[in-house]
Structure formats: C-alpha cells, structure tokens
Structure 1
Amino acid sequence: MGSKMKKILACCCGIALMASLAGCGGAKDKAGNAPAQEKKLVIYTARENPVTELVIPKFKQKYPDYDVQVMTMGAQQILERVRAEKNNPQADFWWGGTQAALMTAAKEGLLEAYKPTFADKIPAMYKDSQDRWYGEMLLPEVIMYNDKALKKEDLPKDWDDLLDPKYKGQIIIRGVLPSGTMRTIYSAMIYRQDPNNPQKGYDWLAKLDANTKEYATDPATLYIKLTREEGKLSLWNLQDVLLQREKHGRPLNFALPASGVPILVDGVGIIKGAKHSEAAKKFYEFLFDEQLQIELAHKTYQIPTRTDISKDKMPDWYKGLNLKPLNIDWLVLAEKEKEWMQYWDQNIKGKGAK
C-alpha cells in the first residue's frame, strides 16, 4: 500500500474516532450528565400563582444560573401529560399532585426513586415506601361559601346537608375530571357511602348534581362566580379558600363538616427519565427547607407534612385549626378513582338538574 493511501486511511480513521468520541459525549449530554443540561429545570405544577411566585424567585436567587420553566395545570392533567410523555419526558419535576395521582404514577413507572435528606421527617402515611413521591403539604377538603350571601346558621352542617333541596341552584363546582382536588372529594364521597358498593355513592352524587347550578371550567372562574353570588356554595380545599380570602379580598370562607373532612396529601416527585435530574433534586431539597415551609404556612396557608416544625413557629390560623379526618383507605381510593370518576362523568354529570 502506498504512503499516500496510508495517510488517507489514517485520516479517515482519525475522523471516525473523533466522531465516535463526539457521539459518546452527546450520549452523556442526553442522559443529563453534562453541566449545560443541568442548568435547566422544567416543572409541571398544580400550585396556585401566589405559591409559585413566592418559591421560584427564591430558588433562582440561590441558583442564579438555572433556567427554570414552570407550566401550570390541574393535578390530573399533569398525570395525563406525564403519562403521554413517558417515552420522551418533557419535564423534570412534578410539583403538586394528589396522593391518588402520585400513587398511580408510581405504579405506572412514571416517577424516579429519590430519597431526600429530610425523608425521616415525613410520616410513612405521607410518602411512598419506595421514595418515588413525598407529600409536601396537607390539603383539608372543605365546604367553601360566600359569607356575604350565607350566614353561618344557614350553612350545611355536614356533607349530607348539601343534598337538601333548599340549596338547589346555589352550588357551583369546579369541573371535576381535570381537577385532582375535585376527583379526590367526589371519590371520598363515594367511599364515605360504601367503598364496596359504589352505587350508593353514585346515588349521593346524583342528588348533589341535582343541586348543582354549573361546573366551572377552572378555579379562577369558580372564585369569580362565587364572589358575584352566581352561586353561594362549593367544595374546595382549605388552602385556596384562605388564599382567596386573605390575599385577594374575596368574601369566601369555609365550613368543616361535622363527620370529618378528606385530608388530601399533596406531593411532589421527580419524573422518570428527567433530562435535568440533578436540578430536580436541588429543587426537591429547596422546597422542603424548614424555613421555606414556615414561610409558606404564614404567607400561603400551607399545612406542612414535616413533623419537626415547631407549632410555635406556625401562624395563628394553623394553631386554631381543629381538623377531624374522614377515615379513608387511600390505596383503595387511588385504585378506584378513575373508574368511579368515569362513571360519574358518563352517567351522572348534568343529569340531576333536568
């Protein structure tokens, strides 16, 4: 072989080797190991704006080089999106998911196992046994009402009172299927009747539907309609009621049903196959920081799951809160929620008022 041909072959081999090395480097980038990849964080969240607007700037202040992108949607919509993107995840961190949704996601292999440094501060009932999700806060589900339109003595005293014909046309409900909160409340009402015979719960929801004036497309619409007295009552979570009342001056208040309330565990998790997993872990640890959790309790009315936060550091509304939880098997609720809610949507919604 001539020297010229040898030089050509050597050059080709060199180019092939460089391409191979570059390909290996590219593979690392795609796996999220390159520093440039870790400077971005994509979050899917069901949190309200007052919460994200408090937390995200603080995170950016601590990690100024990170490009943080936040997409807000309903908790159930997050599950559906993460499920659809399973083979090519577009987000890294799931912030704000119902216990049922996170259990479902974990079962479907949509969440990455990660044991955070605060793991032993969260009770076993508020986290996944395989560290695929952790509850960040507790969300008591309550009766929300316009306290200018309804006096306390005219309020429902318990869940069953909502079925009284005197409340017909006064109830506005947030659209159920896209909302993790509403799916949990409605599933809890079915479970409360008889978890082994959902028909009893369906009958109960049919009576509630008969009293329901309309289903609001989103939380903002729900708040506006209640403020305008287009309706007087709803079912919603305690945190958002307090936020709307204290931060936005809406005439909204809450009542605690005598038999107890579903206490939703609202949690977080790292999405399986996240392209920016290290950034997600940093946000995980940041979000559960004790001082931040105390601040969120004072400013956004969150009830933390951490057991090591002194009650003396918590706000007065928290100290005076006397919650009676409904006895619910959340594993059963997670397993049955989809079936129950599909039946409600196809057979009950909008039919009772006719």
Structure 2
Amino acid sequence: MRKANSKLKKWMQGMFAGSLALTVAACSGGGQEAKPADNNNAGGQGSAQPSSQPAATPAASGDPQKLIIYTGRDKNIFEVVLPKFKEKYPNIEVETLEMGAQQILERVRAEKANPQADFWWGGTQSALSTAADEGLLEPYKPTFADKVPDLYKDSQDRWYGEMLLPEVIMYNSQALKPEEVPQDWDELIDPKYKDKIVIRNVLPSGTMRTIYSAMIYRQGADTPEKGYDWLMKLDANTKEYTQDPTNLYLKMDRQEGVISLWNLQDILLQSKKNNHPYDFVYPKSGAPILVDGVALVKGAKNLDAAKNFMEFLMSPEIASQLAKERFQFPSRTDISKEDLPDFMKNLELKPLDLDWGVMAAKEKEWMQHWDENIKGKGKK
C-alpha cells in the first residue's frame, strides 16, 4: 500500500505542484464545501459546453425517461450540471434525493430487493467499496475508464472516482488569525482549544467518518486504542456535534465554534460563493484525501439514463467547469492545466499515508466504538 501511496503522492504533486501559502492567502475570508458534499451552496452557472464524448445511448430518445439520483453533493453542483444535462437529454426527467454518503449506502442496501435509485452521485471510497462487495453496484466500463488512475476506481468497474477531497482544518477567519489555528492534527487536542471546536455529526457523514478513521489509523490500526484515546481528547475540546452541514456553518458564523474539520472543496465554496468567513490550514503532516465517486445501482430501472449521466458528468468539459466554478479537484488525469483554476495548479496535495483497504474494513467497527464509548464523554 505504501507503493500505491507513493504513486498517489507523485501524481498529485505533479498535477498540483506549488506552494500552499498562495492558496491560503487567496482563500482568506471564506470556505466550505460545495455546500458540503454533505451541504448546500448558492452559485452561478458556467458556460462550458456539454461533453463531446459519446454517450452510453443516443441523446435523442422517443419516449420520456426517468433518472433517480441519490446524492451527497450540494445544490451548488446541481446548478452547474443538471441544466446542461437537461439540454442534451431533454427526454430524461431527473429527480435527486440528497443525503450523506453513509446514508446512501444504508438506503441502497435496504432497497436491494427493489432498487429505487438509478445513480449514486457522491460516495466515499469506503462506502462505494463496501457497496461493491455487497453486490449493490452495476459494473459499467465508461468511455473515460483509462483516464482515471487505478487508485481512484474499482478494479471491476463498479465505481469511479469523480473528484478528490482533501480533508483539512477549517476556521473562522474573523475570530482567529492563521497563526492561532492548529497547524497539524495533533495540535487539535491541545487543551487551549477546548470548546473552540465544533464538528458535523460524524456517523451520517462520509467526510467525517473518513477523517475520524484516518485519525485512528495514523495512531496504529493494529492498536486502535491509541486512536480512541486521541479521539477522546478531541471530544474533550469539542463544544458540539451539529446535526448537518447547515448547522455547522451557523455555529461557525456565530463563533459558537471557531474551528472544525471539513473538506477543502466545501470550505472554498462556502467562502468564495456564499461569503462565509472561513479559511483553512492544510495539515503539515498531510491530509486524508478522500475519493468522491459515482456508481450505477444494481438493478436500476433506468440504467441507460444512468449511464448517460455518468458519461456527461465525467466529461472533460464538465470536470473543468466544476474545477473553475466549484473548486472541484478532478480525478481525470487528462484535464489540461489551462482548464484548471490558478490555485489548483499551485496547491500541493500532500496525502497522509493511509491504507484505504484497512480503513474500509475497520471503519464500521471504529465508528461504532466512537459513537458508543467516546462521543460526549471526553469532558467527564
């Protein structure tokens, strides 16, 4: 796995080489996730044209079709993608149901005998891998298959990574100066940050489950007790766990908590598109870089429409537009640097050294232990 991580690091450093300081300065005063991959955001539509890649089925279709999407993505993203998809496929009626990545997994699992969704848009590597192993996803090799590195897709074509989500430290830039913010993960458990941290409820959120699992792994996966102890200290400094991203933003805006853990895309979206006073610190030791992916649901009633949507969503045109307008780091390696925003060209995405296979296998056990034995108990 260290070899894979080395390849990952080289690829990302090559694509996003440069100084993090440039990005931090540019991001001062806002942040968040595309309305978090568990959130919501406002924003405008861009001018990129629909994908020129061949679709799974012809755009012109006689009878109206339907497409049901379960998604962890934000309305900010819908604003860019869905109208353009409708232009290309006017006979496909799209319905979206928004929920956290873990909630999508649980729902697709519960509906296995009678699938209600066609397309899964916005899932963590762990959640999608689990779904694939449980036979919940439909294999499909898209036209762009060779443009996505092996690290970011399933070997049996059951899911593909759409984008990369570095998980970082978020803070209220009106309440704290950059030097007053924890610069690395272990600084978060310093008692001086007691009651300054507010966290989005962990279990329903793919973002938070990834961060917390990474914190356990980095202490030693074979001895999770060390990681549990670290999370207990973090719990002692945590003022509140919010129900959802919207409430997280509200608490941060009111300075009821001034530090949080969140994904970089959403931080940038909330700051630059929604004018929230957020900024971020990229941890010195590296960040968990979550692969946010897409998949077709096994037994989907509208499989052709789902394939068309996957091809369209992952096209270079849409990937480039989402990078520029929604700060989305594409998984495709064939996106020209000229089609990426300046900050993305200059940002070095340093990954934590993680074994994602172990993370996926242990996440459920680790998170259950956190929920039953750690959450809310650190101050006692």
What's the TM-score once normalised by structure 2's chain length?
A: 0.83
With over 3 angstroms needed to count, the CA separation of the structure-2 counterparts of 1:295 and 1:185, relative to structure 1, is same
Q: Given the alignment, which residue of 146, 168, 174 partners 2:172?
A: 146
Aligned structure 1 segments of 4 or more residues deviating by more than 2 angstroms: 35-38
Structure 2: segments with no counterpart, 5+ residues:
1-60
C-alpha deviation, 1:118, in angstroms = 0.1
On the 8 A contact 2:201/2:243 being kept in 1, the answer is yes
Partner of residue 310, structure 2: 284
Residues 1-354 of structure 1 aligned to structure 2 (within 5 Å): 39-354=65-380
C-alpha deviation, 1:38, in angstroms = 6.8
Structure number with the higher helix fraction is 1
Q: Helix, strand or coil: the match of 1:349? A: coil
Q: Helix, strand or coil: the match of 1:291? A: helix
Partner of residue 7, structure 1: none
**Match of 1:246, as an amino acid?**
K
With over 3 angstroms needed to count, the CA separation of the structure-2 counterparts of 1:346 and 1:273, relative to structure 1, is same
Instruction: Provide Cα deviations, 1:305-334, integer angstroms capped at 9, x if missing partner.
Output: 000111122101201212210011101101
On the 8 A contact 1:38/1:277 being kept in 2, the answer is no
Please give the alpha-carbon distance, in whole angstroms, between the structure 2 residues aligned to 1:292 and 1:158.
34
Same amino acid, percent of matched pairs: 67
Instruction: Provide Cα deviations, 1:108-163, integer angstroms capped at 9, x if missing partner.
Output: 00000000000000000000000000000000000000011010111111100000
Q: Helix, strand or coil: the match of 1:274? A: coil
Please give the alpha-carbon distance, in whole angstroms, between the structure 1 residues aligned to 2:97 and 2:183.
38
On the 8 A contact 1:145/1:232 being kept in 2, the answer is yes
With over 3 angstroms needed to count, the CA separation of the structure-2 counterparts of 1:72 and 1:36, relative to structure 1, is farther
Please give the alpha-carbon distance, in whole angstroms, between the structure 2 residues aligned to 1:68 and 1:249.
30
Please give the alpha-carbon distance, in whole angstroms, between the structure 2 residues aligned to 1:36 and 1:213.
56
Greater Rg by CA: 1
Q: Helix, strand or coil: the match of 2:226? A: helix
C-alpha deviation, 1:218, in angstroms = 0.3
With over 3 angstroms needed to count, the CA separation of the structure-2 counterparts of 1:38 and 1:194, relative to structure 1, is farther
Please give the alpha-carbon distance, in whole angstroms, between the structure 2 residues aligned to 1:160 and 1:294.
35
With over 3 angstroms needed to count, the CA separation of the structure-2 counterparts of 1:112 and 1:141, relative to structure 1, is same
C-alpha deviation, 1:36, in angstroms = 8.1
**Match of 2:347, as an amino acid?**
L
What's the TM-score once normalised by structure 1's chain length?
A: 0.89
**Match of 1:294, as an amino acid?**
S
**Equivalent pairs, count:** 320
Q: Helix, strand or coil: the match of 2:161? A: strand
Identify the structure with bigger relative contact order (alpha carbons < 8 Å, sequence gap 6+): 2
**Match of 2:221, as an amino acid?**
P
Partner of residue 9, structure 1: none
Instruction: Provide Cα deviations, 1:324-348, integer angstroms capped at 9, x if missing partner.
Output: 1001110110110000000000000
**Match of 2:99, as an amino acid?**
M
Please give the alpha-carbon distance, in whole angstroms, between the structure 2 residues aligned to 1:37 and 1:138.
36
Please give the alpha-carbon distance, in whole angstroms, between the structure 2 residues aligned to 1:204 and 1:311.
39
Structure 1: segments with no counterpart, 5+ residues:
1-34
**Match of 2:240, as an amino acid?**
E
Instruction: Provide Cα deviations, 1:22-53, integer angstroms capped at 9, x if missing partner.
Output: xxxxxxxxxxxxx7887000000000110012
Partner of residue 6, structure 1: none
Please give the alpha-carbon distance, in whole angstroms, between the structure 2 residues aligned to 1:309 and 1:67.
29
